[in-house]
Chain A
Amino acid sequence: MEHQVSEFLINAWASIFTLMLTAYVALDGFDLGIGILSLMERDSSRKAVMMEGLSGVWDANETWLVLLGGTLFGAFPLAYAAVLEALYAPVLLMLFALIFRGVAFEFRLYARRPAGWLLAFGIGSLLAALAQGFALGGLLGGRVLDRAGKPVEFFDWFSPFSVLATVLVINLYVLLGACYLLRKSDGGLLDSAHRWAWRAVLSLVLLLPIFIWCSTRVMPSVGERWGAESSVFAILASCLAIPLLMLMRSLYQRRNGSPFFWSLTALILAIIGLVLSHYPFLVPGSMTLHSAASSTKTLEFMLYAVGGLLPFILGYNAYQYYVFRGHLKSEH
């Protein structure tokens, strides 16, 4: 009986963690994506609109990362320790990138040369996405091992596969950012967003099958799982293809509200696919959810507060987006 309870709790926490991860990737994804796109936009007033349109929400988006970190630390402390220790370089790179990106929102307003902080916002966004891509690649490539007490292999996370993962993550964030801009902008910025969204979705459609194929190569267990469950894989793959096709259709028809919805749908399905590929492993190839988890008592205690608050968190975050509905404009 005791064992069943803990299995239930572990799965509940795995679900909550997946939900938080999805919220983070979706929200900070478009946020970082807009930052990356600001590097490509030449018109400085449009650049400024892109950045200032985020002033009201960037902090809440980034706080999902803090929540993700705290949840991992409390519910799966062994994975938190192993992953962060092994990914020292990409994690620190991400932290420094987020520092410059975050303060840029405020510092730009008072600087003599605001263009420098616009650039910091863009480069910070790009480096944060890059670092997250390397971390994801290292993790999914099975390069993160539990090294409790043993010296860390410092550049182990770096591999051709992690480079591929980095490109994928940047591509995904750019797509999310462009689709968000399509919903929220007008005039010249809308045209740019439309162009970026097309490029991003086409390159993603090309990259995704390559990435999935490579995943099965670097992590044989993924290939074995889908080989055994090929019909499930086929269903999931076609489920993922539908929103991507719908996204392209709405871009073609210039229905600017829909692409963001389809990009989110595709993201959610991709994350479900990712989780199913590796379950019950939390750190692929090294640590299962079960072996990384805290005790039943802690998981239960955390569930009351963190799990119980999650609907409210989602609620007031949604409310904030509702308040700032309509086209992007400078809020200052």
Chain B
Amino acid sequence: MEFLQDTLLLSRLQFALTAIFHILWPLLTVGLSIFLVVVEILWLKTKDRDYFVHARFWSKLFLLNFAVGVVSGIPMEFEFGTNWAPFSRMTGEFFGNILGYDGAMALMLEAGFLGIMMFGWNRVPAGMHLFATIMVALGSSLSAFWIMIANGWMQAPTGGHIEAGRYVVDSYAEALTNPYHYWGYAHMWLACIETSLLVVGGVSAWYILKHRHQSLFLKSLKLALAGLLAAAPLQILVGDVTGLYIFELQPAKGAAIEAHWDTNPAGQGAEWHILAWPDKQEQDNDWAISIPNALSLIVAHSLDGQVKGLKESVPTDQPPAIALIFYSFRMMFIAGLAMAALTLGSAYYWWRQRQLPMTLDLPAWLLKTWVAAIPLGYVATECGWIVREVGRQPWAVYGLLRTEQAASTLPASAVATSLGLFAVVYTFLLASFLVFARRIIMAGPNVDQPLPVFMLSAHPEQEKA
């Protein structure tokens, strides 16, 4: 058990664990909060009671998910200080500043209106309730934005320099307008939307398969499908642009994604490995199935464009676990394609039935595919983050601060204890969440949910009915 003596490794494992766990929850918070805004607007506009039932039903899942997101997010904010004190000393000027922005601009907004959105139905007028729902959605999307700025800066720090061991910002404009951050944010935001819509669509498909509230859940399935029809193809595009930035800003990460060791000589195209087994010791692939010239075509958009290989960096500057990066990327890519395929396949049936606007009669196998696709967004996002974060190594802040220099000098036993506790507690939280979410779904929506007071007084005829 050598690793129990290694504070650096333990702190890294703890950060990886807490981050991998935490990111699960904002995915649904960001996307589902926007979905809740949409159904509330639809309800207020069409007066169709079904949308109110949707707003109440999905907000139960939303709040359950939100609670775990909040309590697993607070440790992230404090771990930078506890386990990564040298990192905090060096980066506080920018990184801490952005976390302050996140708290003041986004998290507070979200939290300040959450109570009204969830429990204020009979306490505020319709417009105020909608405003609260919009503020929760805005707050969570803004929070994702600032986190992507902060993390993007760790990938590609611009607009400052190191002075006496601390990062000093020369130009906030330059630091904040790095286009890479915006593509990264778009990629993550779309991932939140896709993941949430797959959850909404998959759960709705399950109810339709079980012949429960079919007309009600047909509406949410259609909404999910319409949203995914825009988001899934767009995500492939945004992902492509983000990928190209990686080759430009973090060539070693780009090369690791493709297990590309040697820079291709001028006039000769780089081959793209469909599958390979990279071996860092040997500085080569043990085996590979490749398409000639394809990597040059993907990255440089020409048959023999130059793509820098991993060997441009000395082994100590190369990311570790290249196979992990290589296969995580492929998993994410396949998941993204699968989402697009599911969306387009379902849209095809929808289009064929366009003469019958009130129904969407998907075959059972397709509905089952929707149910099976519920975890797809989560898998893709986790894989994407593994590529992003493992690929950034050996740097904590790319090119400026090595991870090994960033960790607090804590007793290893202390970090081993907290790591063990996080593992146990988070497993328990995840299991409990799944059990309770299942109970919410099995119980189903409360279709007799009384309308809020503001709706009754505005429409006395409904009160009689």
Contact = CB atoms under 8 A, between A and B. Distances in A.
Nearest to B411: A154
Contacts of A110: 64, 435-436, 439-440
B97 A148 contact: no
B113 A316 contact: yes
Contacts of B166: 77
Contact of A81 (B85, B93, B102, B411): B85
B394 interface: no
A78 B436 CA distance: 42
B345 interface: no
A103 to B, nearest CB: 5
A154 B408 CA distance: 12
A56 B64 CA distance: 13
Contacts of B71: 98-99, 102-103
B409 A151 contact: yes
A3 interface: no
B56 to A, nearest CB: 11
Interface in B119-152: 119-120, 123-124, 135
A273 B79 CA distance: 30
B70 interface: yes
A166 to B, nearest CB: 19
A43 interface: no
B85 A154 contact: no
B82 interface: yes
A152 B77 contact: no
Interface string B80-121: 111001101101111111111111110111111111101110
B60 to A, nearest CB: 9
Given A63-B103, A73-B96, A149-B409, A85 B64 contact: no
A298 B100 CA distance: 11
A106 B81 contact: no
A99 B119 contact: no
Interface string A142-156: 000001111110100
Contacts of A57: 115
Interface stretch (A88-96, A206-214, A250-258, A260-268): A88-96
Given A65-B74, A154-B410, A309 B104 contact: yes
Interface stretch (A29-37, A238-246, A300-308): A300-308
A106 B104 contact: no
A331 B102 CA distance: 29
Contacts of A107: 64, 67, 432, 436
B112 A73 contact: no
Contacts of A65: 74
Interface string A301-331: 1100110011001001101100110000001
Given A63-B107, A74-B99, A302-B97, A320 B82 contact: no
A66 interface: yes
Given A67-B108, A70-B104, A106 B67 contact: yes
Interface in B142-187: 166, 168-169, 172
Contacts of A298: 93-94, 97, 169
A82 B115 contact: no
B96 A323 contact: no
Interface in A69-121: 69-78, 80-85, 87-89, 91-92, 95-96, 98-100, 102-103, 105-107, 110-111
A294 interface: yes
Contacts of B100: 67, 70-71, 73-75, 302, 306
Given A65-B74, A81-B86, A73 B113 contact: no
Contacts, number: 238
B410 A152 contact: yes
B81 A81 contact: yes
Contacts of A41: none
Nearest to A58: B115
Given A67-B107, A306-B101, A73 B114 contact: no
A74 B92 contact: yes
A85 B82 contact: yes
B89 A60 contact: no
A295 interface: yes
B108 A99 contact: no
B315 interface: no
Contacts of A99: 71-72, 74-75, 425, 429
B339 to A, nearest CB: 29
Contact of A294 (B92, B105, B108, B109): B92
Contact of B93 (A77, A82, A102): A77
Contacts of A105: 67
B99 A85 contact: no
Contact of B82 (A60, A72, A91, A323): A91
Interface in B417-431: 418, 421, 425, 429
Interface string B58-77: 00000110111011111101
A319 to B, nearest CB: 8
A92 B418 contact: yes
B111 A301 contact: no
A306 to B, nearest CB: 4
Given A320-B113, A324-B115, A88 B108 contact: no
B101 A152 contact: no
A59 interface: yes
Nearest to B102: A70
Contacts of B74: 62, 65-66, 95, 98-99
Contact of A317 (B96, B112, B418): B112
A73 B92 contact: yes
A63 B70 CA distance: 9
Interface in B27-71: 63-64, 66-68, 70-71
Given A69-B103, A323-B120, A154 B414 contact: yes
B64 A73 contact: no
26 contacts: A56-B119, A62-B74, A63-B70, A63-B111, A66-B74, A69-B77, A70-B77, A70-B99, A77-B166, A84-B88, A88-B414, A99-B71, A99-B72, A99-B429, A102-B67, A103-B68, A106-B63, A107-B436, A294-B93, A301-B169, A305-B104, A306-B100, A313-B104, A316-B109, A324-B115, A332-B119
Given A66-B107, A70-B77, A331-B118, 10 more contacts: A60-B114, A70-B100, A83-B81, A110-B64, A294-B92, A295-B168, A297-B169, A301-B172, A313-B104, A320-B112
Interface of A: 55-57, 59-60, 62-63, 65-67, 69-78, 80-85, 87-89, 91-92, 95-96, 98-100, 102-103, 105-107, 110-111, 147-152, 154, 294-295, 297-298, 301-302, 305-306, 309-310, 313, 316-317, 319-320, 323-324, 331-332
